[in-house]
């Protein structure tokens, strides 16, 4: 099948990871065309044996009101594709024989602010409305968890005639499985880790959870926070127990940090998917998570206990996950093969229905 992927709005973070892994997989499976943010072109340049990468230079205004004006020119250049996969970008019209809308951010589908600045919240609301309205052009719609997919299906204004809704979650890197299977013994540590500093991560609650764990485990003395320092609340940043490590940490360094951590803590108020929690359960000694839908999805095949923290509420504690048998999370190869299978099955069903 001839695929056109639109990742042009995602030059960093989870979108960049998915872009890189998608380009890698398709480069080894017949190739595809990728619309890529100009800042991300270098990240996928090595996957060019079969793939074609077209750089797009969007700006914030175009992102909100005219982020598809380049598509007609692209289609004239490459022809009508079999599948158009739009990652977090509204569908403006029927681009391909099969049009696939993927929602990459659950915050666009809820009216709650989760501590976001008003301007950012407004941008999410506007994009969410446009995503939902654009379902009228979609044959397939997906999100990265059952929770986010449910938000999409039930969104006010959804009058789309989508043929198939499907969860296409994040995969785990092969390096993670290699580390887990090697069973390398790591030195005991005295720190906890959290990843992400956006307001919805609720870092003040994460620090309160760390304090409660510290009272039970006096040897626990440091709380490592990975992410943009500028988004960390002052109260957290000024706490003497906190190490603000910033962003841009290489994956191997991050995996080593998680392997040595006594606890991984996430008090997120909302998540589309819980890839950081999944990675932590492969690598960390103990994992503590907020009791939200996507976290419950991530840990449903694990042994859990409740952890009550004053001022925070009831959390989920997964004890010793890396030392216990649990369902293996999907690799990126698993995720991308499933995407390919979903599109192929949909194409066959359409052909079958037309021949009747």
Which is it for strands 83-87 and 52-56: parallel, antiparallel or unpaired? Answer: unpaired
Same domain membership, residue 110 and residue 41: yes
- Residue 102 near residue 7, CB atoms below 8 Å: no
State the CATH number of the domain containing residue 100. 3.40.50.2000
Both 250 and 162 in one domain: the answer is no
pTM of the shown model: 0.90
Residues 24 and 8 in one domain: yes
Strand, coil or helix: what is 329? coil
Residue 354: predicted pLDDT: 64
Task: Count each helix (H run) and each strand (E run) in the chain, helices first.
Answer: 13, 14
Q: Do 137 and 180 sit in the same domain of this protein?
A: no
Handedness of CA 335, 288, 196, 61 (dihedral sign): positive
**Sequence-ordered list of residues with C-beta below 8 angstroms from that of 12, at least 6 positions apart, any chain:** 39, 40
Chain centre to alpha carbon of residue 291:
18
Give the pLDDT confidence of 132-174 residue by residue, as tens digits.
Answer: 999 999 999 999 999 999 999 998 778 778 999 999 999 988 8
Residue 179 shares a structural domain with residue 138:
no
- Work out the percent of the chain whose per-residue pLDDT is above 90: 68
Domain that holds residue 256: 174-323
The answer, yes or no, to whether residue 356 has pLDDT greater than 60, is no
Give the strands of the sheet with 263-266, arranged side by side.
Answer: 242-246, 222-226, 191-195, 263-266, 286-290, 313-319, 304-309
Do 149 and 199 share a structural domain? no
**DSSP class of residue 241?**
T
Is the C-alpha dihedral spanning 272, 276, 279, 280 positive or negative? negative
Structural domain tally of the chain?
Answer: 2
Q: Are residues 151 and 8 in the same domain?
A: yes
């Amino acid at each position: 099948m001839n695929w056109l992927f639109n990742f042009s709005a995602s030059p960093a973070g989870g979108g960049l990871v998915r872009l890189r892994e998608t380009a890698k997989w398709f480069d080894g499976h017949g190739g595809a065309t990728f619309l890529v943010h100009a800042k991300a072109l270098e990240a996928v340049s090595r996957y060019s044996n079969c793939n074609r990468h077209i750089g797009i230079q969007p700006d914030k205004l175009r992102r909100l009101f005219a982020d598809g004006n380049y598509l007609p020119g692209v289609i004239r250049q490459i022809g009508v594709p079999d599948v158009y996969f739009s990652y977090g970008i509204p569908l403006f019209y029927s681009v391909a024989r099969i049009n696939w809308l993927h929602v990459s951010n659950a915050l666009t589908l809820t009216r709650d602010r989760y501590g976001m600045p008003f301007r950012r919240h407004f941008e999410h609301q506007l994009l969410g409305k446009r995503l939902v309205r654009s379902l009228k052009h979609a044959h397939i719609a997906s999100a990265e968890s059952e929770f986010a997919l449910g938000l999409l299906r039930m969104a006010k204004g959804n009058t789309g005639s989508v043929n198939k809704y499907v969860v296409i979650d994040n995969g785990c890197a092969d390096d993670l499985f290699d580390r887990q299977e090697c069973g390398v013994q790591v030195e005991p540590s005295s720190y906890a880790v959290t990843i992400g500093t956006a307001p919805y991560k609720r870092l003040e609650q994460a620090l309160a959870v760390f304090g409660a764990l510290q009272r039970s485990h006096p040897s626990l003395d440091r709380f490592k926070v990975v992410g943009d320092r500028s988004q960390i609340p002052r109260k957290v940043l000024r706490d003497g127990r906190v190490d603000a490590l910033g962003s841009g940490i290489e994956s191997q360094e991050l995996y080593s940090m998680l392997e040595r951590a006594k606890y991984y803590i996430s008090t997120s108020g909302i998540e589309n998917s819980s890839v950081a929690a999944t990675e932590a359960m492969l690598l960390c000694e103990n994992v503590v998570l907020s009791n939200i839908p996507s976290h419950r999805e991530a840990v449903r095949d694990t042994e859990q206990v409740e952890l009550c923290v004053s001022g925070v509420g009831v959390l989920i504690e997964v004890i010793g996950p890396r030392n216990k048998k649990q369902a293996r999370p999907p690799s990126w190869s698993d995720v991308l093969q499933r995407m390919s299978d979903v599109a192929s099955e949909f194409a066959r069903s359409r052909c079958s229905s037309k021949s009747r």
